[in-house]
Structure 1
Amino acid sequence: MMTDQTLSQQDVVDKLRDTDVVMLTTALPDGTLLSHPMTIQGVDDDVDVWFFVGLQGDQADALRHGPHVNLAIADAGSWLSVAGHAEFIDDRAVIDQLWNEQARAYFPDGKDDPNLGLMRVTSDSAQFWGLPGGKVAGLAQIVKSKVTGDRPPGGTATTEL
């Protein structure tokens, strides 16, 4: 994904498209951070990330209070953090385009469920930490570093989106 400690917008898009679930962190009105696993419904080339979200509850209330969010992904040997802002979008065509039967587990009335909300996270910046060689090599390097006491190779990169 990353070469010479650089991170491109396309790298971030590819990583998000290769991931089903992210941790979405929001802040409650009192400043308490709240994280939930969220299933990605779509990622566009501008690093806008689409989710279905319940319109009622702590998470929706937090998003209405403060739209700043963080998306986090962790694989063996690599981590991606994306900072952005969320907004609820009222667009039936996008809901129709992104709808899948897996979403019905959370919204039993389907696309017409009154609790179904469509949320877009517009990404502002991303930071990647990773070990060279991908997931299997990264895991092996982590294990080796624990045995030898050495620090595993790797690097970090940040990009504005």
Structure 2
Amino acid sequence: MADHDEKFWDRLDDINAGMLGLKSDARFIPMSHYAERDERALWFITAKGTDLVDALQGGAQEGIHLVSDGGEGLYARVSGRLALSDDRAKLDELWNAVASSWFEDGKQDPDVQLVRMDLTDAEVWATGGKVSFLYEIAKSKVTGSKPDMGEHYTLSF
């Protein structure tokens, strides 16, 4: 299991974004995530006044972050508790050129809002990536066998 955990975090570190939403709502939006392996958390930088932030004003809620990246060979449904955060030190740590593109006044912009997701579990499909996928498809055509598409497992955090 530790191998699965390590593989999940290593691949997630190399992926920039996914689709984030509340478990109670079918609407998901693209969001960049920032993985905090030691704390078993994901961080998101978003704007005040969004539907997600408005929904979290009343307190933490169950959320889902969907990640799909064929190049890294990771497909995952990550679940956890989403909550608003005013941690300025964390914002300083996470701030980057991508985040600054969305906020006119940089990290001092009054619309900047951090959201933290404390992970509870993840359902993961880990493949060998694009090259491995093509190889497995070609091999299946030659041998008549089903392609090996990697591992499917669940992690609890």
TM class by shorter-chain length?
0.7 to 0.9
Aligned residue pairs total 153
Within 2, Cα distance between the matches of 1:124 and 1:47? 8
1:79 maps to 75
1:136 maps to 131
Report the TM-score, using the length of structure 1 for normalisation: 0.79
Within 2, Cα distance between the matches of 1:58 and 1:155? 35
8 Å Cα contact 1:13/1:43 also seen in 2: no
2:44 maps to 51
8 Å Cα contact 1:85/1:123 also seen in 2: yes
1:7 maps to 4
Within 1, Cα distance between the matches of 2:56 and 2:136? 38
CA RMSD of aligned residues (A): 2.7
Residue by residue over 1:126-151, the C-alpha shift from the partner in whole angstroms, topping out at 9 and shown as x without a partner, is 111133x3332024435666899864
- Taking a change above 3 Å as real, the CA distance of residues 81 and 149 of structure 1, as seen in their structure-2 partners, is farther
Residue by residue over 1:23-56, the C-alpha shift from the partner in whole angstroms, topping out at 9 and shown as x without a partner, is 11225xxx44111111123423232111111111
Query: What are the ranges of 5 or more consecutive residues in structure 1 without an aligned counterpart?
Result: none
8 Å Cα contact 1:89/1:118 also seen in 2: yes
> Superposed, which structure 2 residues align to 1:78-157 within 5 Å?
78-131=74-127, 133-142=128-137, 151-153=146-148, 154-157=150-153
Query: What are the ranges of 5 or more consecutive residues in structure 2 without an aligned counterpart?
Result: none
Q: Secondary structure at the match of 2:79?
A: strand
Name which of 153, 156, 159 aligns with 2:155.
159
Within 2, Cα distance between the matches of 1:32 and 1:87? 16
8 Å Cα contact 1:7/1:128 also seen in 2: no
Within 2, Cα distance between the matches of 1:59 and 1:85? 13
Q: Which 10-residue stretch deviates more, 94-103 or 112-121?
A: 94-103
Structure 1 residue 113: Cα displacement: 0.9
1:18 has 2:11 as partner: no
- Taking a change above 3 Å as real, the CA distance of residues 36 and 55 of structure 1, as seen in their structure-2 partners, is same
Structure 1 residue 57: Cα displacement: 1.9
Report the TM-score, using the length of structure 2 for normalisation: 0.80
- Taking a change above 3 Å as real, the CA distance of residues 155 and 12 of structure 1, as seen in their structure-2 partners, is closer
8 Å Cα contact 1:42/1:98 also seen in 2: no
